Structure 1
């Protein structure tokens, strides 16, 4: 297997989710740091437009969205599992809720004016404004919580998580699963990036104890890699054919009337709605795959989960 290359930045919550999954599975990985805001020329050379963080590169195959990345890492190393057989449905549904509803409540609280001022206290004066404008552009299709509403929701969700953490070491039992990593990363941001706001956790001590156990999993063996080297590795590699890559399903599921080989775009339905255009080479029950070519990255296959992404034919193609 080619190296697992994670394109991320240190303060990215969703990157922390995947860093911990890599640690949980004890998988060695290579770290490529990317900018937090546009421009991201090295990322878009690989993805063709998608610019949410993180992105997982394996040779010339590019995996987008942490839900899909978790599936890939499960295939690379099935044990310990992210999806215990008796909890497979409920832990996936919980993770989907945690990655969306819980996360946006947490970040609405975390990046209220006091939190944002703390995050950017040591940054150049124009960085906070640039970050705010960047995230505003990524959120055009979303309804964002106002700080007061986010605080109320976050408090309620923390109490519900505490009810689970009161019963077990992890949310669904004695071992962590995908639900723990999905629930943790917004709370991680509260604890590590805006500690002056972490008193919201005080009424739910079992959440803090659970978070300590998740944190202790660590990130596993990591080595640094430059963006230029990652692009060179993509260019030198051949994408894996559908059915032979790290996504286990390959049967065509046509819900759109768009045949394989068509020129299409795949676009996130909510946050970060930049489209990626390419040739549709797979549309299965779980994912879409596009073939595209870039002067720096060469021929790559870019993979997206089906859930949360819109597939459209390119007009006139």
Structure 2
């Protein structure tokens, strides 16, 4: 088995972002398919509650959220770089915009009735209803943009991407960086999963040409892995030693405290565990599960909340 295990499902846009990055860096990785909707018992045995897709596993270390996964893969294989020095700051800013504003807009557009019919063609009605209920629960009551408003906003965003591509092959230069993979994955869903709606891309041919360049990178040659094998890997591994991590306290919560970590705006299921690291960029919890053993679950600071468990 590879050292890198990606828990994902084929139609996940955020998973496509990471699959392409794995291909770009030519990394060996193993693929574990997880359910699209809850329950996800094998995944949450590793994460302790976090349920969003994808999750990266390296032994007994579990990495949540693609922002953190990108940093981990950059450390694992620094070349070719996702964060070139000359554009490091702007790459992160564009990535955050793409993973939030662009993604939300694109998916509101994609899931209008014609798109829904294409995504769920041939699926039983109860399966569609279960998916809708699952995603409604993930939004925790937050309003969703209408498809009409989404179409107008999406067109504006596509024009901005086209402007960035003027005179160059990728968004920030002549080589792809993390911003390209982040901006690509919502558009990938439009093109690949709801092609009946993909005509919206035709007004920005620069974007379509760029998309073809990104798609051509591919996913490499992943191995296949069953979720029970991944759990066995976690049980038989030891989490990374964190003694040298610099503690940055922003909450008045000491290391060793029992805490809850949750996303701050979507998919709010918390993970509880012992806070064993809080660095400038990430949190780490130690937790023990009867199926996964003792693991370290890692989250980025940005986009997540930290709270002490009440006694």
Same fold (TM over 0.5): yes
User: Number of paired residues?
Assistant: 311
- Aligned residue number for residue 106 of structure 2: 106
Match of residue 297, structure 1, among 286, 292, 295: 292
Give the CA deviation at 1:62.
Answer: 0.1
Question: What stretches of structure 1 move > 4 A for 4+ residues in a row?
Answer: none
Kept in 1: contact 2:6–2:56 (CA 8 A): yes
Gaps of 5+ in 1: 245-249
Render the CA deviation track for 1:117-158: whole Å, top value 9, x for unaligned.
111111122111110100000001644211111111101000
- Aligned residue number for residue 217 of structure 1: 217
Cα distance change, pair 242–142 in 1 and its aligned pair in 2 (3 A) = farther
- Aligned residue number for residue 311 of structure 1: 306
Render the CA deviation track for 1:32-72: whole Å, top value 9, x for unaligned.
00000001000100000000000000000000000000000
Kept in 1: contact 2:2–2:28 (CA 8 A): no
Kept in 1: contact 2:2–2:29 (CA 8 A): no
SS at match of 1:126: helix
Distance 1:143 1:177 in 2: 32
Distance 2:175 2:141 in 1: 36
Distance 2:264 2:144 in 1: 15
Render the CA deviation track for 1:257-289: whole Å, top value 9, x for unaligned.
000000000000011000000000001110000
Kept in 1: contact 2:275–2:284 (CA 8 A): yes
Q: RMSD of the TM alignment (CA)? A: 1.2
- Aligned residue number for residue 268 of structure 2: 273
Aligned: 1:258 with 2:258: no
Kept in 2: contact 1:141–1:271 (CA 8 A): no
Aligned: 1:130 with 2:125: no
- Aligned residue number for residue 196 of structure 2: 196
- Aligned residue number for residue 118 of structure 2: 118
Distance 1:17 1:152 in 2: 24
Give the CA deviation at 1:241.
Answer: 1.3
Distance 1:242 1:154 in 2: 42
SS at match of 2:99: helix
Give the CA deviation at 1:243.
Answer: 5.8
Kept in 2: contact 1:2–1:58 (CA 8 A): no
- Aligned residue number for residue 24 of structure 1: 24
